[in-house]
Every structure is written in structure tokens, then in C-alpha cells.
Structure 1
């Protein structure tokens, strides 16, 4: 498939994990991608893998509004168009009950996981309205349910779904489609590094399919939502969760 031939766009948090899988999928389908990430070295390594003709690299602090504006300008300067964007970058925080969360930890998670998506769309959408476009905001199953000890993350992901829906309504007449994807727990090097085998097995058991997701499975649904094959899909939340929410 070449769903993204002659199209170009942005993936944030693209240097590893889900973001890297999304970038690979989009390039494989003919797209050109700005690999935007705080880890510039890892972003350049992925760009080298995918090829300089199909990628560009931008060092991005997603919590900085000016950096998001500069990213859109960089994308237009690099590829002369912005057809799609995947707002994927995010962080978690150490588990803590609400009253025990340090204020700076709360602010950082909300800035990176929620405010950053507002900044991103604020500058992405005007660049798309001339010819239309598609945006996917990376939420989580924790945008639909709670998880003890994760107040800031769960709050950010719930709010992200509301922002996605309103933005989709606001810009439907401009031809910009905006959706959210909600991954279940995903097998990534970071998760495997920070959890024991027993903890990973217990986490996998919370999914009806009895395993964690692969990043490529999240990327496949994300690419579909960005493509013209999803031309009648906007304002929606797509869990890719192995049945987690059905258990």
C-alpha cells in the first residue's frame, strides 16, 4: 500500500516505542515524516534507518508552545506541506496517591501529556486547512478507565479525549479529521526494563488476548486513521487494547 505517497507529516515522540513504529509504517506506505523527539541522537538514528529522502529530524520539547510552532514551520520548509500529524509524545510519573503527588510532578505530566497536544494542534491545524489533513492524538486505555496511583496521567488522557472530540467538531468543515487511539499496555524496551517478568505477565493477563500489544499493532491502526481509507472517521476514540476494556 502507498496510502501516503506524496504526503508529509509529523510524528512526535518518534525516536522509540510506538512513535518509531508509526514513523516506520508511514514511511513504508510512501510518506515523508518529520521525526520529532527530545532525544535527537535516537531520532537521527531512526532517520538514518528510514532514509534522508523520507525523513527529517527536529529536536522537540513538546511542552514548549514556541517549539511546536517551529516544528510546523520546519515541516513546511522541509516538505512544503503538512498532511498528517501524530501527537504521540508522553510521559508517566512514579505511582502516588493524589494527595502525595508533588506539585511539580503533576504540572510536568499535564504539560507533556495534555497541554502539548493543545500546542501541537493549535499550529498543525491552520497548516492543514488549505487542503485538509488528519491528526491522531495518542491517548491510552487509561483515557477510559482509572488506574490507582496515576492521577495526573489518567486525568491527562481523559481530557485528551474531550479535546480531540471538540477539535474534530471545530474543524470538520475545514476537512481536518481528528481522532484518538487508545493503546493497551505495549511491549517496549522501557516497559521491559522497568518491570519484572512476573509483573509483565500479570499485566498481560489483564488483556483478553493474554498478552501485551506490539508497537506495530498500534501503528497499523494509527496509519489507517490518517489515511483516506478512514475518510468518514473523525472525533472518535479507537482502543487498541487486546480486549482490556472488555474484561
Structure 2
């Protein structure tokens, strides 16, 4: 038996990187998975690879209308929603003096507003069924300082998680945050970041960058009934960075 047998999960930003790793593991563990992303080709291909246990929905997480579309299509296809993984996120390899107002607003809309809209829209369904698990992917930079814009929004996701957890707990809905460190994903493979990532890895106590699957195993635990008494909590998977 799988840890998610009979569960239905929505995973945002799941066409590639960590989100794709989460989707693959969730299906392996028995879940039906709705993959959402703006990247239609990659998302469609992944859903096809995963077979009848997965569907893809093109989705702008900063759009309330798109969130409702995802909820409606998920229920129409699989009948219910048990898990939400708010994984979609972006950053820019720019410092304080270089990041533009347009950049900042884009990061806010995807990382923070997108998470808020997801929690708000999906929580309504979970409250009605008196059960559910929401996993918000924050970051090491939701615990300690980092790039302006990215850090700001990831701290906000951490706080939003705690506020939502307290409000939704009486309805049996759990809300937790996961805080990855440096992970091998397309986000850290942007032009101009290669040397910075290489140098950063040397400062990690475990002396390496993590594989996406290492984060997925923690996300699986938090999403599953194995973590049935955990809510409003921070789960850190950063190779020891925040312990320094």
C-alpha cells in the first residue's frame, strides 16, 4: 500500500524541477495528481508519462479565476481534493539596486499571491469535507536572509502558513511549510548563477546540493497522514544551512 492511496493532490509548478519530482513520488505512493504549470508542453508530457493517475491543467497561480478552474476540473475528474502543494515559485539573480519594480511585483504575484489564492480557494473544499493537508513550499530564505524579493515572499509564505493553520485547524485541515535549501532545479540554473551556486555549495554543512527527490520525500511525509498531528510547522531540508 502507498502512503497516499485514495488521495487526490494538486501540485503547482509541477511541470519540471521539484514539482515534477513531487508529482512522480505522489503517484508512486497511490495518489491521483493534478499537475499545474504555465508550461503546457512540459506539463502535458509529464501527465502522459504518469498515465491515468495524473492530468495537467495550464495554470497562472496569480489568477483567482485560474485557481477556481483548477479546483473545478480536479473535482470533475477525481471527485475531491485532499492535498495541495503550493510549489510554484520564481526568483531573479539580481541585487537590491538591480531588481526592478516590475521584477519585484512578478515575484510577489507568483510566490506570495499565488500561494494565498491557492490556500484560500482549496481550503473551502477541504473545510467542507473536514479534512485536508496544505503544504506551502517556502525556502531556506523564509528562515534567513537572501535575495531581496525572493526572501521577502518566502518569509510571507511562512507567516501565511501559520495564520492559515490556526484558522483551519478546527476544521481538520492542516497547513505546513517546507523550507528547501539549494536544490538541483531549473530555478538555480539561470544564466549567471553557476559560479555563485558552486561557491554556495561549499558553505553547506553536508557539502553538496540536494536532489529534488530528497525534498519530495519530506513533502510526502508532511502531506500524508503520517504527519496527522503536525500543523503550522516548518519542515527544513537544507543540508544544515539554517543550523549555522
Structure 1 contact 84–134 (Cα < 8 Å) conserved:
yes
Match of 2:92 in 1: 93
Superposed counterparts of 1:43-122, under 5 Å: 43-51=43-51, 53-97=52-96, 100-122=98-120
Match of 1:23 in 2: 23
Superposed counterparts of 1:192-211, under 5 Å: 192=189, 194=191, 198-211=195-208
- The CA deviation at 1:134 is 0.1
CA deviations over 1:31-69 (Å, ceiling 9, x no partner): 000000100110011111111x10011000111111111
TM-score (norm 2): 0.95
Give 1:233's match in structure 2, choosing from 230, 234, 238. Answer: 230
**Over aligned residue pairs, what C-alpha RMSD do you find?**
1.4
Structure 1 contact 69–120 (Cα < 8 Å) conserved:
no
Query: SS at the partner of 2:35?
Result: strand
Give 1:182's match in structure 2, choosing from 170, 179, 191. Answer: 179
Query: SS at the partner of 2:149?
Result: helix
- The CA deviation at 1:22 is 0.4
> Partners in 1 of 2:106 and 2:15 — Cα distance?
20
Query: SS at the partner of 1:191?
Result: helix
CA deviations over 1:168-212 (Å, ceiling 9, x no partner): 000001010000000000012453463576433312112110000
- Mark the CA change 1:137 to 1:196 in structure 2 (over 3 Å): closer, same or farther: closer
Structure 1 window deviating more from structure 2 (122-131 vs 82-91): it is: 122-131
Structure 1 contact 84–135 (Cα < 8 Å) conserved:
yes
> Partners in 1 of 2:66 and 2:139 — Cα distance?
24
Superposed counterparts of 1:32-47, under 5 Å: 32-47=32-47
In the alignment of these two chains, the number of paired residues is 243
Match of 2:155 in 1: 158
CA deviations over 1:74-130 (Å, ceiling 9, x no partner): 111110010001000011123121x54321111111111001111111110011121
Structure 1 window deviating more from structure 2 (174-183 vs 186-195): it is: 186-195
Structure 2 contact 93–192 (Cα < 8 Å) conserved:
no
- Post-superposition, which runs of at least 4 consecutive aligned residues in structure 1 deviate over 3 A? 192-200
> Partners in 1 of 2:118 and 2:111 — Cα distance?
11
- Mark the CA change 1:90 to 1:189 in structure 2 (over 3 Å): closer, same or farther: closer
> Partners in 2 of 1:101 and 1:45 — Cα distance?
34
